[in-house]
């Protein structure tokens, strides 16, 4: 049987997406002919901005190369604009006379840039921002000329302005409305955007109406004149005031058009059922869409009917706009302006360039406008589409979904809560379910792989954070966040995780072996990788690997904290913060004997002796050891302190013996080397005087047992712990603590505190390893106790007795 003939007019995103969908379900039904007015294969028009800005090449944005057309037997007529449709004989004809017969015709003629009807619009140097030719003209102009004026402060205009500025031009943006992107943003959000762009060097002329483009001596445009008489110099004028559906061809063939080619729910033109239309040229139920997502929905429906399936209907799209304008995330949907009968909830933090507004009507979300922080856009959009009553959580609505229920789980928790049908990538219409399925079935591990397999996050990139969160959530500990692999340091191409795996799987037991097996680029590493490797080897091969002092930072080599004048500080261990007169007397004696300039109580309930000369360290340690002290490891990437409150022994509120438990925990864990410093605390009741909820591992005693909290941090970025679990006995506290520490020791990256580690791998993963898997927990705890055999050797006593003596001795030469 002879194949049916399908002719597609328009080689853009909507047309070729329809062909792709058609080939998926009916690959042999049609003989396909495609006419494209541009001389290029099908490319991603959204990515013209990065091409203009010099971030991508034209070849990077091609969606289907010439080989794709050949492979599917598609006859492609490039650079040939169709000028006539002969509906009677079912034939199209191009300007150059090329003809093609059709059984079905698909119009995907897109839109044309709207050019203001003003004098000078035809001058050389005046371009639109629509296709590759425009971009090439702009790039050429940027290389030769200085002043650019972009007319139109919508998304397209701002992208053009940004690209031209990136290419070194002085750019002014002219906009008729009182603020930028007024169709997507309200005034406060637009002001933030404007401020951000002004900081990048763009100049804005708002509420200015362009009257005329003025020609210079060369005949090229030289200035833009406004209605109010002002003018600005312009060697290049970019028209970006809007687009108009390209209906000329359809109209000439007598096909009914209003704002666009009028189609019904099957994407057939209402005039001629053999002729379909999709994309920006279409008017469906009175709406012409200019965003990618609706076009792709249309493509799917049109392909379904072209394939004779006849079951799909396009009923219109509710659109939201999730955009990235010059690196800033924006989101808007629905009635974001608000008005009579609506209420607006607003969060505004101009200092950190974050603005969030949701508009409610009758306790339902009807619109949203987000600037700077768009993570919750998808959630708001779902609430909007589904008309959810938000009265139960309107107080926390602005702070996002993670504030419903358990707090502090970060974006991973948020994406976990989304339904499978939630759209993650608005550009390519990819839902959460598709992404998760691809990650699991195709064993994807990186953002680039997800992009390649699902197209999610491959267009504008504004959903990248969500896709990464999905990866992290789906893979747990297997996911490495960096979009492209981040090397451990400049000495290697390998990441932390790869190095850890190689040491484990290849049985590498010395630094030399790591350098050789992983082809280190430097003969003996650097000050970044050597301490990391020393740690990884030490934690993987306890008792076997010989610690390399030369790969330790000075604090860990000299077992004291180096101070800015080169002196050291000495902090003896006080178990659980407990001390007694004998110990205090010994410390006082040492401070006097060695003329310690300053004595201070630390935040971790210890006493710190400051300003000790390095040469004096072994002698001080000898005196302290004689009084029973061991090193407090206040200088190390190691177990630091266990802070306690007095607990049930004294406190009238205490529920358990927090001090005693703290001492037991410290006896268990002291001496262990960690990826970074590690702090514990035990509070005797929920008043939490020991501040256990900002520690790496915190215990809060309650009447019925012990709450175990993990991943807290009181440092640069305060992070409250997550509740790991609740246990009933002290013995369990010790086991869970040891197991948690061992998991952290084995799997975190060197110099990664528990807080970022937990956020990277997810609380669920840690719970699964430490709480749910009892056998795994016991094994972790055993490994921890095994390694502690080799770690709990007091480094001070050893050095007081002569170990590494040369390290502490100065050679004195007098004339």
Partner 1 sequence: MSDWIAIAKFDDLPRLGARVVQFDTVRVAVFRTATDQVFALKDACPHRGGPLSQGIVHGHLVTCPLHNWRIDLATGEAVQPDQGCVRRFETRVEAGQVYLRLAETAVETMPAACVSHG
CB closer to partner 1, 177 vs 554: 554
Nearer to partner 1, 226 or 553 (CB): 553
In whole angstroms, the minimum distance from the beta carbon of 525 to partner 1 comes to 6
- Min separation Cβ 722 and partner 1, Å: 32
Beta bridge partners of 112: 244
Closer Cβ to partner 1, 21 or 556, answer by number: 556
Q: How far is the CB of 564 from partner 1 (least distance, A)?
A: 7
- DSSP for 25-66, please give it: H-TTSEEEEEEESSSS-SB-GGGHHHHHTTSS-GGGGBSS-H
User: Which tokens is 84 given?
Assistant: 């006539």
**Contact between residue 330 and residue 374 where contact means Cβ atoms under 8 Å apart:** yes
Give least dist CB 519 to partner 1, A. Answer: 16
Task: Report in angstroms how near the CB of residue 516 gets to partner 1 at its nearest.
Answer: 14
Q: Is 26 or 526 the residue whose CB approaches partner 1 more closely?
A: 526
CB of 513 to partner 1, least distance (A): 16
- Closest approach of Cβ 810 to partner 1, in Å? 5
Identify which of 733, 727, 645, 636 has the alpha carbon closest to the alpha carbon of residue 676. 636
CB of 172 to partner 1, least distance (A): 35
Say which DSSP state 762 is in: -
Cβ contacts of 299 within 8 Å, gap of 6 or more:
14, 17, 18, 20, 21, 278, 279
Residue partners of 656: CB distance under 8 A and separation at least 6: 647, 648, 684, 701, 702, 706
Q: What does the CA dihedral 472, 473, 477, 479 come to, rounded to 10 degrees?
A: -20
Q: Which is nearer to partner 1, 588 or 803 (CB)?
A: 803
Sign of CA dihedral 428, 430, 435, 438: negative
Of the pair 441, 565, the CB lying nearest partner 1 is at: 565
In this structure, what are the phi and psi dihedrals at residue 30, rounded to the nearest 5 degrees? -120, 150
* Beta carbons of 278 and 106 less than 8 angstroms apart: yes
SS3 state at 295: helix
Residue found by looking up tokens 């080897």 in the block: 537
In SS3 terms, 524-574 reads as CCCCCHHHHHHHHHHHHCCCCCCCCHHHCCHHHHHCCEECCCCCEEECECC
Question: Across-strand partners of 702?
Answer: 705
Q: Which residues contact 416 (CB under 8 A, 6 or more apart)?
A: 409, 473, 764
When the beta carbons of 775 and 813 are compared against partner 1, the nearer one is: 813
Chain residues binding partner 1 by CB under 8 A are 522-527, 530-531, 549-555, 557-558, 562, 564, 566, 806-807, 810-815
State which residue, 601 or 815, has the beta carbon closest to partner 1. 815
Smaller CB separation from partner 1, 327 or 566? 566
Local structure of 633: helix, strand or coil: coil
Q: Which is nearer to partner 1, 437 or 613 (CB)?
A: 613
The distance of closest approach from Cβ of residue 453 to partner 1 in the complex, given in angstroms and rounded to an integer, is 40
Residue number, 122 or 519, with CB nearest to partner 1? 519
Cβ at position 503, least distance to partner 1 in Å: 20
Pairing state of beta strands 639-644 and 678-683?
parallel
* Spatial distance between the Cα atoms of 178 and 187, rounded to a whole number of angstroms: 8
Q: How many other CB atoms are there within 10 angstroms of residue 633's CB atom?
A: 26
d(CA 678, CA 244): 62
Of 131 and 807, which has the nearer Cβ to partner 1?
A: 807
Q: Least CB distance from residue 43 to partner 1, whole Å?
A: 40
Shortest distance in whole angstroms from residue 482 CB to partner 1: 22
- CA-CA distance, 770 to 735, in Å (whole number)? 10
């Amino acid at each position: 049987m002879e194949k049916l003939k399908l002719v597609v007019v328009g080689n853009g995103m909507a047309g070729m997406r329809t062909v792709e969908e058609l080939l998926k379900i009916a690959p042999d039904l049609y003989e396909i002919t495609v006419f494209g007015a541009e001389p290029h294969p099908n490319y991603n028009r959204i990515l013209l901005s990065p091409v203009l800005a010099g971030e991508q090449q034209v070849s990077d944005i091609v969606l289907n190369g010439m080989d794709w057309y050949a492979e599917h037997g598609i006859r492609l007529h490039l650079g040939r604009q169709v000028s006539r449709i002969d509906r009677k004989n079912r034939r199209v004809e191009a300007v150059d006379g090329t003809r093609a017969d059709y059984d079905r015709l698909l119009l995907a003629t897109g839109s044309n840039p709207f050019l203001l009807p003003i004098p000078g619009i035809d001058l050389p140097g005046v371009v639109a921002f629509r296709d590759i030719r425009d971009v090439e003209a702009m790039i050429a102009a940027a290389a030769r000329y200085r002043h650019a004026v972009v007319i139109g402060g919508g998304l397209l205009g701002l992208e053009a302005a940004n690209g031209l500025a990136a290419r070194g031009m002085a750019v002014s943006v002219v906009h008729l409305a009182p603020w930028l992107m007024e169709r997507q943003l309200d005034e406060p959000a637009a002001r933030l955007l404007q401020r951000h762009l002004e900081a990048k060097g763009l100049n804005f002329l708002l509420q200015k109406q362009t009257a005329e483009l003025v020609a210079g001596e060369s005949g090229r445009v030289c200035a833009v004149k406004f209605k109010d008489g002002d003018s600005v110099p312009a060697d290049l004028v970019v028209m970006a005031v809007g687009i108009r559906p390209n209906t000329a061809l359809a109209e000439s063939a007598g096909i009914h058009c209003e704002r666009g080619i009028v189609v019904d729910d099957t994407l057939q033109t209402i005039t001629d059922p053999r002729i379909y239309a999709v994309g920006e040229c279409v008017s469906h139920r009175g709406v012409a869409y200019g965003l990618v997502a609706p076009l792709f929905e249309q493509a799917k429906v049109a392909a379904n009917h072209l394939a004779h399936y006849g079951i799909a209907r396009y009923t219109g799209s509710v659109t939201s706009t999730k955009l990235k304008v010059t690196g800033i995330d924006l989101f808007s949907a629905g009635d974001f302006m608000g008005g009579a009968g609506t209420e607006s909830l607003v969060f505004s933090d101009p200092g950190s360039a974050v603005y969030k507004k949701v508009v409610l009507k009758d306790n339902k979300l009807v619109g949203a406008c987000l600037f700077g922080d768009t993570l919750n856009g998808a959630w708001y959009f779902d609430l909007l589409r589904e008309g959810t009553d938000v009265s139960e959580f309107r107080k926390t609505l602005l702070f996002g979904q993670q504030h419903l229920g358990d707090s502090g789980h970060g974006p991973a928790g948020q994406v976990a809560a989304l339904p499978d049908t939630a759209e993650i990538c608005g550009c390519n219409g990819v839902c959460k379910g598709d992404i998760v399925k691809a990650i699991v079935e195709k064993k994807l591990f990186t953002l680039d792989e997800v992009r390649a397999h699902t197209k999610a996050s491959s267009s504008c990139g504004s959903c990248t954070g969500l896709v990464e969160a999905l990866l992290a959530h789906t893979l747990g500990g297997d996911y490495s966040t960096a979009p492209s692999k981040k090397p451990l340091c400049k000495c290697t191409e390998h990441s932390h995780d790869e190095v850890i795996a190689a040491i484990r799987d290849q049985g590498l037991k010395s630094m030399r072996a790591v350098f050789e097996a992983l082809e280190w680029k430097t003969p003996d590493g650097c000050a970044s990788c050597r301490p990391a490797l020393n740690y990884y080897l030490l934690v993987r091969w306890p008792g076997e690997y010989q610690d390399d002092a030369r790969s330790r930072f000075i604090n860990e080599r000299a077992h004291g904290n180096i101070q800015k004048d080169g002196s050291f500080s000495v902090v003896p261990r006080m178990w659980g913060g407990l001390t007694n007169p004998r110990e205090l007397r010994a410390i006082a004696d040492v401070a006097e004997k060695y003329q310690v300039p300053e004595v201070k109580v630390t935040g971790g309930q210890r006493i710190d002796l400051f300003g000790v000369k390095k040469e004096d360290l072994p002698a001080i340690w000898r005196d302290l050891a004689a009084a029973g002290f061991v090193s407090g490891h206040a200088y190390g990437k190691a177990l630091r302190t266990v802070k306690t409150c007095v607990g049930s022994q004294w406190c009238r509120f205490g529920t358990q013996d927090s001090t005693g438990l703290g001492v037991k925990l410290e006896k268990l864990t002291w001496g262990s080397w960690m990826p970074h410093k590690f702090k514990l605390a035990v509070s005797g009741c929920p008043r939490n005087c020991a501040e256990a909820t900002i520690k790496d591992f915190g215990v809060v005693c309650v009447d019925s047992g012990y709450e175990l909290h993990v991943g807290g941090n009181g440092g640069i970025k305060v992070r409250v712990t997550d509740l790991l679990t609740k246990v009933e006995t002290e013995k369990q506290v010790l086991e869970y603590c040891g197991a948690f520490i061992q998991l952290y020791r084995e799997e975190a990256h060197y110099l990664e505190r528990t807080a970022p580690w937990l956020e990277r791998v997810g609380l669920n993963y840690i719970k699964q390893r430490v709480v749910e898997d009892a056998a795994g927990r016991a094994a972790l705890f055993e490994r921890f106790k095994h390694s502690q055999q080799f770690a709990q050797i007091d480094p001070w006593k050893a050095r007081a007795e002569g170990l590494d003596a040369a390290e502490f001795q100065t050679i004195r030469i007098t004339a």
